[in-house]
Amino acid sequence: MSVQEQRIRAILEEREMNHGDFYSNFITIGKVWGALLGTAPIEPYKIALMMDAFKTVRAFKNPEHEDNWLDKIGYTTHGQSCAFYDVSKKQHPSSLKDSEMNYGS
């Protein structure tokens, strides 16, 4: 695992300790955003894409702020987990082994 992959992994683990399981959070965010918009709940992979877009705007405004770039990789990693593992294998993405994750490489 590269240094960048280790950093991303550490960030994702820290975020999970502070905020809880990403998948459960994306489900909740999708329900809330859907209700606010008057639509059906938004799928977890789409939440990841929308959060990545949010970080893209921030990176555009302040490209030297590293946190924006690292968070973009984190949201991409989570989005990939939701899209490929949750949908195709019908398993909770948080149950994946570390070797099955792609940390932005």
Cβ contacts of 59 within 8 Å, gap of 6 or more: 65, 68, 69, 72
pLDDT tens, residue by residue, 45-63: 999 999 999 999 999 999 9
DSSP letters spanning 35-77? HHHTSSPPPHHHHHHHHHHHHHHHHHH-TT-HHHHHHHHHHHH
What the block records as the tokens of 20 is 């809880």
Overall average pLDDT of the 88-102 stretch? 51
Output the pTM of the full model: 0.77
Domain extent listing, the chain: 3-100
What pLDDT, on a 0 to 100 scale, did the predictor assign at position 100? Answer: 47
- The confidence band for 88, taking pLDDT boundaries of 50, 70 and 90, is low
